[in-house]
Chain A
Amino acid sequence: MSETTTHSRVAVTDEAAGLLRELTRQHGRLMVHQSGGCCDGSAPMCYPIGMFITGPSDVLLGAIDAGLDDPIEVYMSESQFEYWKYTHLTIDAVPGRGAGFSVEGPTGMRFIIRSRMLTDAELTAFGLG
């Protein structure tokens, strides 16, 4: 996947960035893996680095700046990416209670994905134009 400094596939809202900072203080450095499938599928799952093993079947979508020393990497399985590659993702947080092992569960907030279609400029930048 080609990337430029001006285009990114992923972003984060202020609300979610605040939650990520709070969770980083509690759990250490974090990463995100975008889920699919039933129940809480489509939820971005947030784990301490090392808890979830990524591999050759995953795509690194990008890294988000949540105001921490290190950006937070966001992954998705390659097969799912085939269907999501034309989409820009923004990680947001809403009140709610998700299942799964994502670290925000006990806070009463839930990470959620907001999506939009990539712009023509982004499509070109990512080699999809």
Chain B
Amino acid sequence: MTIVEEGVSSVYAAPGQRGARAEYRSRYGHWIGGRFVDPIKGQYFENISPVNGKPFTEVGRGTVEDIDLAVDTAWKAFEHWKTTSPTERANILLKIADRMEEHLEAIAVAETWENGKPVRETLAADIPLAIDHFRYFAGVLRAEEGGISIIDNDTVAYHFNEPLGVVGQIIPWNFPILMAVWKLAPALAAGNCVVLKPAEQTPASILFLVELIGDLLPPGVLNIVNGFGIEAGAPLAQHKRIRKVAFTGETTTGRLIMQYASQNLIPVTLELGGKSANVFFEDVARERDQFFEKALEGFSFFALNQGEVCTCPSRALLQGSIYDEFLQAGIERVGKIIQGNPLDPATMIGAQASNDQLEKILSYIEIGKAGGARLACGGERADLGGDLADGYYVQPTIFEGTNDMRIFQEEIFGPVLSVTRFTDFDDAIRIANDTLYGLGAGVWSRDVNTSYRAGRAIEAGRVWTNTYHQYPAHAAFGGYKQSGIGRENHLKMLEHYQQTKNLLVSYAEGPMGFF
């Protein structure tokens, strides 16, 4: 990950201010059939920037009628889209990536304004990763092959990959563009048409993006309907004419989506979060060198994206022999995190995405205190004053406690770290696995044997080893246990958007002989 160089950029102007790199429209309809259309019932809702707590645009408040229209439009587009060659589709994805790269700064500013995350991050991670995702699936698609199996000398099984048809995708608000692209790129590459429902907290940045790239896709291949979950999300998830649902979010909605899918007998992929352990073995602190610095950065990564990451390393497990020393160094490092205006490239931690998210985090800080955890730093809402006074800012917060406490077991989705100690390897693995979830984990050790064994023993879909929070397209991502079903990223994801067609062909010149 390339990080913005210090001191090279000044604060970006906010959308709506003079000199802004990104401007939002004052109102957005749904994106259906390659253009913006008004919601059928004519209703809109306000979209608030968490940077200053004020509305900046309106978006369509979709209902079942809009979902029906989007699904119909997508099926019409599928008639042609399913016949396009892998080359054509791959080339379109590459053009989308190029277009995004041309407008990287504008997209980054637009996303920051809507989500509250630092522009430092959207410039260096969210948007470049989204661009690379399109390129990766363009490449994967070109290299993908079906199969030929020889059954006997005269009989051959051909295996073709075919698209599913129209798929529904429900996107979370923590990475409004990257999480949409994680789902879109493989679905489009595989030849599917999409009806996408963004989160109601972040409905506009994906529309900002589609306005830039929409002309590159045939009309109707990608359709975006905004609205509230109960009014637009649920009708999409239970629609009788979608062939698959992909969802990222929490467990109750995940169950509801599976319930709907069971009624329609369609597949789902679910990514439902985690409570990721970041395990630091004692040899990490053997020397105060670059590796030690890297480990401290890994410790501090709970604050990346304000902790609003499904894989947030929100439990730090420190070996007892280095506990005090490492925790002290970690607290000092966390104290250097710069909190401020998300549009300032120097800012490392910005605003929480919504007011209810802010409230939830503050309530968990209270739960931590009431549950007997020791507050080591932070623990308050941050008042940044001026224009930002009404924004949703929380200080990076560290608690010490034990793994049975609720702050060690529940995904707070904020910059809140819970630290505990372990005695030896087995104790570390026991604590790491004592969770309902299994999405991510981190292992830090200079001993390759220790890190390998720990990585294999932890029940999680992704174990970062001597690193954390890297999300390359070419590495599979997904959950064990209650963290979900299926994988995203990697060519494996193409399979989640494909049917297997088998042609079983006989070249024998005579009958089989049964009749």
Partners in one complex: yes
Q: At the interface, yes or no: A8 with Cβ under 8 Å from chain B?
A: no
C-alpha gap A102/B437 in the complex (Å): 23
Q: At the interface, yes or no: A96 with Cβ under 8 Å from chain B?
A: yes
Which A residues touch B271, using CB under 8 A? Answer: 38
Q: Number of contact residues on B: which range applies?
A: 35 or more
One of A11-19, A40-48, A60-68 contacting the partner = A40-48
Name the CB-closest residue of B to A84: B406
Name the CB-closest residue of A to B259: A53
A100-B229, A101-B230, A103-B230 given; A43·B255 CB < 8 A: no
Which B residues touch A35, using CB under 8 A? Answer: 250-253
C-alpha gap A48/B149 in the complex (Å): 51
A99 near B172 with CB under 8 A, answer yes
Which B residues touch A42, using CB under 8 A? Answer: 250, 360, 364, 410-413
Q: At the interface, yes or no: B228 with Cβ under 8 Å from chain A?
A: yes
C-alpha gap A47/B253 in the complex (Å): 11
Q: How many A-B residue pairs have CB under 8 A?
A: 161
Q: Which of A94-129 contact B (CB under 8 A)?
A: 94-103, 105-106, 110, 112-117
A102 near B229 with CB under 8 A, answer yes
Which B residues touch A112, using CB under 8 A? Answer: 356, 359-360, 363
Which B residues touch A94, using CB under 8 A? Answer: 355-356, 359
A38 near B200 with CB under 8 A, answer no
Count of chain A residues near B, Cβ 8 A: 41
Which A residues touch B411, using CB under 8 A? Answer: 36-38, 41-42
Residue of B249, B250, B406, B409 ringed by the most chain A CB atoms within 10 A:
B250
Q: At the interface, yes or no: A33 with Cβ under 8 Å from chain B?
A: yes
Residue of A34, A77, A99 ringed by the most chain B CB atoms within 10 A:
A99
Name the CB-closest residue of B to A76: B252
Q: At the interface, yes or no: B231 with Cβ under 8 Å from chain A?
A: yes
**How many whole Å from A24's CB to the nearest CB in chain B?**
14
**How many whole Å from A33's CB to the nearest CB in chain B?**
5
Which A residues touch B489, using CB under 8 A? Answer: none
Q: At the interface, yes or no: A39 with Cβ under 8 Å from chain B?
A: yes
Q: At the interface, yes or no: B123 with Cβ under 8 Å from chain A?
A: no
For B239-282 the 0/1 string (1 means CB < 8 A from A) is 00000000011111111100100000000000111100000000
B174 near A45 with CB under 8 A, answer no
A52-B252, A99-B201 given; A117·B359 CB < 8 A: no
**How many whole Å from A67's CB to the nearest CB in chain B?**
23
Q: At the interface, yes or no: A5 with Cβ under 8 Å from chain B?
A: no
Which B residues touch A96, using CB under 8 A? Answer: 354-357, 359
B228 near A106 with CB under 8 A, answer yes
C-alpha gap A69/B358 in the complex (Å): 34
B359 near A105 with CB under 8 A, answer no
Which A residues touch B273, using CB under 8 A? Answer: 36-39, 41
Chain B residues with CB under 8 Å of chain A are 45, 48, 61, 172-174, 199-201, 228-231, 233-234, 237, 248-256, 259, 271-274, 310, 354-357, 359-360, 363-364, 366-367, 370-371, 404, 406, 409-413, 436-437, 482-483
Chain A residues with CB under 8 Å of chain B are 33-43, 45, 47, 51-53, 77, 79-80, 83-84, 87, 94-103, 105-106, 110, 112-117
Q: A39-B310, A77-B251, A112-B360 are in contact. List 5 more A-B contacts (CB 8 A).
A: A34-B252, A37-B254, A39-B413, A97-B356, A110-B356
Question: What are 22 A-to-B residue pairs whose CB atoms are below 8 Å?
Answer: A35-B250, A36-B482, A37-B274, A38-B274, A39-B310, A39-B413, A41-B411, A42-B412, A52-B255, A77-B251, A80-B251, A87-B367, A94-B356, A96-B354, A97-B200, A97-B356, A99-B173, A99-B200, A100-B229, A100-B233, A101-B229, A103-B230
